[in-house]
Every structure is written in C-alpha cells, then in structure tokens.
C-alpha cells in the first residue's frame, strides 16, 4: 500500500543479477519537497534502487508508483517520457555533452521537450545564475573545473522543473569545499521548486543535507528514523 501523501513509492522490490540479489524486498517512499539520502556500502543495491525508482530498469518483482501511476506497468516509451519531463538526474561525473557550451547543455532538455531555442536559453541562463556559474556559460565542459561542471549538471537537471530529482553520488568527484557548495545549491533549489530528491551517497557529510536517511544493506531498506519503511 502506497504511504499516504507520497510522491514516489516502491514496495517489495526484488532485482537479481544472475544468482546475486541486488534488491530483496526493498520498500521506499518519498514526499514532495523531501530530500532522502540513500546510504549503504558499495554493492549494497543503492544504485539499483535508484534505477528502479526512476524506471531505468525494471525490477524482477514488486511495484513502483509515481503519484497515481504504476511505473512498473508502463512500457519503455512512457517511462522515457517521464524521465524527460518529471524526473531530473545528476550523476557523479556530470555527463555533460562535450561539444556544447554550458548554456547549451542546460538548455538541452528543454529543447528536447519542444521549448523554442530562445526561450530555452533564457531559462537556462536563469538557472546558471542561480547555480552561480553564469560567468562560464559560453565555455565547454573541457574548459570547466569539476565544481563548475557539476553545478551546470545540477542546473540542467533542474531546468525542466522536475518533480523528482535523482542524484547519484553527485559530489563523489569533488573536493569537500566544492562538494558542500554543490549540495547547498542543489538542495536549496530543489526545496524552492518543491522537488523530491533521492540522494544516493556513501558519505555521512552528504547525507547531512537530507531530511531523512535510509540505509540499503543486503538488498533491504531500513529507515534510520523510523525503522523499516
């Protein structure tokens, strides 16, 4: 049963790779505007959980619900459409398009959704200002520092105003100072837009930016504030 008021919820997720279970009856829920840190050692299943929640992979069993919709019952096309419009993603190494400028990278998801170029770039510029990197908007990823590149990746993820932002080790490649600045800007901007944030990390200092912490261990999920979800 989906927890009352939750935006995204999973129940009984199981996913195995060969004989190895990555998820073994995992439950999860997150509310609008909430930042939930997903913690656990390497290989615990936390990235698999994120990928199931985002509809990137399909669990072997269990359900994922996004609002009134069951993600696990959707076809690939419908899940892909949701990832373009309702979900945003930030990865450890940014994954910016190297041939595009910072401004063009942030405008890209808007353009893919049909926003005219002028409007898309105007919105992208506003997000670059908000993430404090508008001074490098004409530069390409190879000309940026790690911290600048990751802020641009955050701006790109938020440009479509997603309802859920998935951040997989977003500061894993940054020093502590740049990492803290990126996390502050990311969580502040997400809360301002009332986006839910699923923040995968193995670092306690990163989890400290969340409203709630869960731990994935042996394929199961434990809520550190309320026992099992």
pLDDT band at 215 (very low <50, low <70, confident <90, very high): very high
Ranges of each domain in the chain: 8-86+162-223
**pLDDT, tens digit, for every residue of 26-84?**
999 999 999 999 998 888 889 899 999 999 999 999 999 999 999 989 999 999 989 88
**pLDDT, tens digit, for every residue of 147-196?**
999 999 999 999 999 999 999 988 888 888 888 988 998 899 888 999 99
pTM metric for this prediction: 0.90
**Of 43 and 109, which is predicted with more confidence?**
109
Share of the chain above pLDDT 90, in %: 69
- Do the beta carbons of residue 130 and residue 189 sit within 8 Å? yes
What CATH superfamily is the domain 8-86+162-223? Answer: P-loop containing nucleotide triphosphate hydrolases (3.40.50.300)
As a whole number, mean pLDDT of residues 115-141 equals: 95
What is the spatial distance between Cα 117 and Cα 3, in angstroms, rounded to a whole number?
A: 40
pLDDT band at 227 (very low <50, low <70, confident <90, very high): very low
């Amino acid at each position: 049963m989906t927890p009352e008021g939750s935006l995204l919820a999973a129940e009984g997720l199981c996913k195995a790779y060969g004989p190895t279970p990555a998820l073994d009856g995992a439950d999860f829920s997150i509310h609008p505007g909430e930042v939930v840190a997903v913690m656990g050692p390497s290989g615990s299943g936390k990235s698999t959980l994120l990928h199931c929640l985002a509809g990137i992979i399909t669990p072997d069993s269990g359900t994922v619900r996004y609002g009134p919709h069951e993600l696990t019952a959707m076809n690939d096309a419908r899940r892909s459409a949701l990832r373009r419009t309702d979900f945003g993603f930030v990865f450890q190494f940014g994954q910016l398009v190297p041939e595009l400028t910072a401004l063009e990278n942030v405008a890209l998801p808007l353009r893919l959704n049909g926003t005219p170029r002028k409007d898309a770039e105007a919105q992208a510029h506003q997000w670059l200002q908000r993430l404090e990197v508008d001074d490098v908007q004409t530069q390409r990823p190879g000309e940026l520092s790690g911290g600048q590149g990751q802020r641009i990746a955050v701006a790109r993820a938020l440009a479509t105003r997603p309802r859920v932002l998935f951040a997989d080790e977003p500061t894993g490649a940054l020093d502590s100072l740049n990492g803290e600045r990126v996390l502050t800007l990311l969580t502040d901007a997400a809360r301002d837009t009332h986006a839910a944030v699923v923040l995968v990390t193995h670092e306690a200092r990163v989890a400290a930016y969340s409203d709630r912490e869960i731990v994935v261990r042996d394929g199961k999920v434990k809520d550190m504030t309320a026992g099992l979800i």
